[in-house]
Amino acid sequence: MAKPAVINLIDANIPHAQKSDDALITLFQNGEKEIFRYLVERYQEKVRNIIFSIFNDTDLVDDISQEIFIKVYQALPKFRFESSFYTWVYRIAVNKCRDELRKKKVKRFFSFHSFEKTTNLKIENFATTTFDDENMRGVIEESLKKIPEKFRMPIILKDIDGMSYDEIAEVLDCEVGTVKSRLSRGRTMLKEILMPILV
């Protein structure tokens, strides 16, 4: 995707907060560095949610989130508009979290605390499983901990964050076919873990 034409993107009559990601990035790349705060405000909660989902530790969220946006700020001048800013930031966030996991050698945790507005888990054969019940959320959270990370991450990104297969492939740096395969395997593993509990 070619870099958008500045003349088509930037309208002085549109407040910065309402401009598209591409418009804000173009302004940033043209020297208006203060524009970056609008991108941070737009995506900071999504980034914080993915950090919390991985570490399940509120004490780590602020520090890692800051480091992620520093990386985004440093890399943004070279952003080529070949993908959406959303998936690009997600990929930086996931890679940073993986680096932290390797350095700290911490156990991988996922939590649904940040997804309380989700009404149901979009997993095959579990359409009636809701998050309204705190105990059920706990059961699903504990079950996800038992699934290897490479199968767990696609479940989080697809079934919780609602990302497309293409977006997940970009974030995880793999083929769409690999995403589908891992997602299917992860769902099967989760089903096998949950079945004795739900029957």
Contacts of 155-164 with C-beta under 8 Å, sequence gap 24+, read 155/123, 155/183, 155/186, 155/187, 155/190, 156/50, 156/53, 156/110, 157/90, 158/122, 158/183, 159/121, 159/122, 159/123, 160/53, 160/112, 160/115, 160/118, 160/121, 161/46, 161/49, 161/50, 163/87, 163/90
* DSSP 8-class letter at 64: H
Per-residue pLDDT in tens (0 to 9) along the chain, 199 residues: 445 444 344 455 677 788 899 999 999 999 999 999 999 999 999 899 888 877 777 888 999 999 999 999 999 999 999 888 988 998 899 889 888 877 764 333 343 433 333 323 444 434 334 444 556 666 777 787 788 888 988 888 887 777 889 888 888 888 999 999 999 999 899 888 887 766 5
Q: Are 180 and 172 in contact (CB under 8 A)?
A: no
Structure confidence at residue 13 (pLDDT): 63
Structure confidence at residue 21 (pLDDT): 93
Structure confidence at residue 197 (pLDDT): 67
Parse the chain into domains and list their residue ranges: 1-107, 110-199
Structure confidence at residue 99 (pLDDT): 83
Domain 110-199 has CATH 1.10.10.10: yes
Structure confidence at residue 104 (pLDDT): 61
Residue 129's SS3 state is coil
CATH topology of domain 1-107: Rna Polymerase Sigma Factor; Chain: A (1.10.1740)
Structure confidence at residue 98 (pLDDT): 81
Rounded CA separation 52/174 (Å): 23
Q: What is the pTM of this model?
A: 0.60
